[in-house]
Amino acid sequence: MTLPRLKSLDELQPGDRYELGRLTFSLEDIREFARRYDPQPFHLDEEAARDSVFGTVVAAGLHTLSACFGMLMASPLLQEISLAGSAMDIRWPAPLRPGEEVTVSVEVIEVTRSRARKDRGSARLRYVARRVEDGVVVLDATGLHHLRR
């Protein structure tokens, strides 16, 4: 799939939706992120994870978030218009396990033009990761992006 390289915030409309691709973590991917940023036993150790509420190793929520956000930022979509980000609200409704494949999409929720600066504005973008097998959402995050016009 080819995503457009936007030239202006004005090309975004609430309701627009882009598919960013698919993502799968191996057990070692999950453990590598967790060792640095969330060293809880149920992200690191299969035996310890058996006694956790998850029953198996699951990805750190910040890992899923960072990887999905990275797919957006590595895509052409915002490369010419992204100025900064300043806020994010995140929900992890279900865990993500090693080997599970998710699709990652981004949807435009709101677009605001700056009154003070005619060359910029902001957009609320919602990133959703959904398990391919059963459609369950494992990440639902909305970020506030400051963008060029």
CA distances from 114 to 8, 15, 83 (A): 13, 20, 13
Least distance CB 99 / a second copy (angstroms): 20
Nearer to a second copy, 13 or 86 (CB): 86
Q: Is 72 helix (H, G, I), strand (E, B) or coil?
A: helix
Nearer to a second copy, 85 or 98 (CB): 85
Binding site for a second copy (CB under 8 A): 36-40, 52-54, 61-62, 65-67, 69-70, 73-74, 82-93, 95, 146
Residue 55 near residue 104 (C-beta atoms within 8 A): no
Question: Rg for the chain (alpha carbons), in Å?
Answer: 17
Least distance CB 127 / a second copy (angstroms): 12
